[in-house]
């Protein structure tokens, strides 16, 4: 692994190197670069298209699965289909993420379509970070799709973030939530320069006792543009809460369009959205502690996107 690949891995997976234990699948510039199974996690390459099937045995506890993607060449267009099959009662953490280093004149793009089949009473934490770097004229484009099916009693926490450097992104999340199952979606986005980000979500609360909490936090700087479409539909006795908060700076533009639909008398759904600039008193308070205005602003943004 060269220095560029190592830096991207650090940014998207918080790893100084590939882990020495546990299941791992590293994809680099459109090809599988490294693969290892564990006793209870089995990763199989698809035969009909690019991608992998990840099978997690029922009852698996305490496993972490790493599936990062690294792109270091200009002009790469990578499309993968990854399917996850999480067995009944399993408790796992999946660390994904993609970073693009583009110093050339052609666009580089990764489109990852992830489908999760989460078994009865299984618990999944899914962490996905996106990052771009490089001084080339070519764009860094990331278009993730995450589709989830939660069986009875299943629980999923979806923690996704766009750190910086991604020129264009179209994100789509779809969750079908069964009886007494719960999904928490936490999305954090940072855009700057003339970048564009669009995030669309559909959560269907189909089972009695199903729940969701959708939290979107974003910072739009310079002349970047962000659009959010979080939608929750209650089709049974259920509860859902959608919250969109954005800080807008410079000449940026942000649209937040949350939507809730109740198709059952005992469906309780709430949505809220707030967009605004950093309050001047927040900056002044930090400046009294010795920070410059720029340092105070950076500290506020770090806390907001944490």
pLDDT tens, 219-266? 999 999 999 999 999 999 999 999 999 999 999 999 999 999 999 999
> Which pTM was predicted?
0.93
Q: Distance between CA 130 and CA 220 in Å, rounded?
A: 16
Provide the pLDDT confidence category of residue 302 given band limits of 50, 70 and 90: confident
Q: What are the residue ranges spanned by the domains of the chain?
A: 3-279
pLDDT tens, 41-68? 999 999 999 999 999 999 999 999 999 9
Share the mean pLDDT of the chain.
Answer: 94
For residue 115, count other CB atoms closer than 10 A to its CB: 17
pLDDT tens, 130-166? 999 999 999 999 999 999 999 999 999 999 999 899 9
pLDDT tens, 70-82? 999 999 999 999 9
Between 280-287 and 293-304, two packed helices, what is the crossing angle to 10 degrees?
A: 120
The label of the residue with tokens 């855009």 reads 191
- C-alpha distances in Å from residue 22, one per residue of 10, 156, 159: 18, 21, 21
């Amino acid at each position: 692994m060269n220095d560029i690949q190592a830096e991207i891995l650090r940014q998207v997976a918080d790893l100084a190197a590939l882990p020495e234990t546990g299941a791992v699948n590293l994809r680099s510039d459109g090809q599988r670069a490294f693969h290892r199974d564990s006793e209870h996690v089995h990763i199989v390459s698809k035969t009909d298209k690019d991608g992998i099937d990840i099978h997690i045995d029922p009852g698996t506890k305490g496993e972490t699965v790493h599936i990062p993607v690294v792109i270091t060449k200009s002009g790469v267009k990578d499309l993968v289909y990854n399917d996850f099959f999480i067995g009944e009662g399993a408790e796992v953490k999946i660390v994904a993420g993609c970073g693009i280093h583009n110093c050339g004149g052609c666009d580089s793009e990764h489109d990852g379509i992830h489908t999760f089949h989460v078994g009865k009473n299984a618990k999944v934490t899914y962490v996905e970070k996106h990052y771009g770097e490089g001084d080339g004229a070519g764009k860094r484009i990331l278009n993730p799709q995450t589709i989830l099916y939660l069986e009875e009693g299943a629980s999923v926490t979806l923690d996704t973030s766009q750190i910086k450097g991604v020129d264009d992104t179209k994100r789509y999340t779809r969750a079908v939530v069964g009886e007494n199952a719960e999904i928490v979606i936490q999305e954090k986005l940072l855009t700057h320069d003339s970048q564009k980000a669009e995030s669309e979500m559909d959560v269907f609360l189909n089972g009695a006792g199903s729940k969701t909490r959708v939290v979107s936090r974003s910072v739009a700087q310079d002349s970047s543009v962000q659009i959010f479409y979080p939608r929750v539909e209650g089709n049974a006795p259920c509860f859902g809460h959608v919250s969109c908060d954005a800080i807008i700076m410079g000449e940026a533009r942000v649209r937040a369009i949350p939507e809730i639909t109740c198709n059952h008398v005992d469906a309780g759904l709430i949505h809220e959205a707030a967009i605004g600039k950093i309050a001047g008193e927040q900056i002044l308070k930090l400046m009294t502690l010795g920070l410059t205005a720029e340092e105070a602003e950076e500290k506020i943004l770090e806390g907001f996107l944490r």
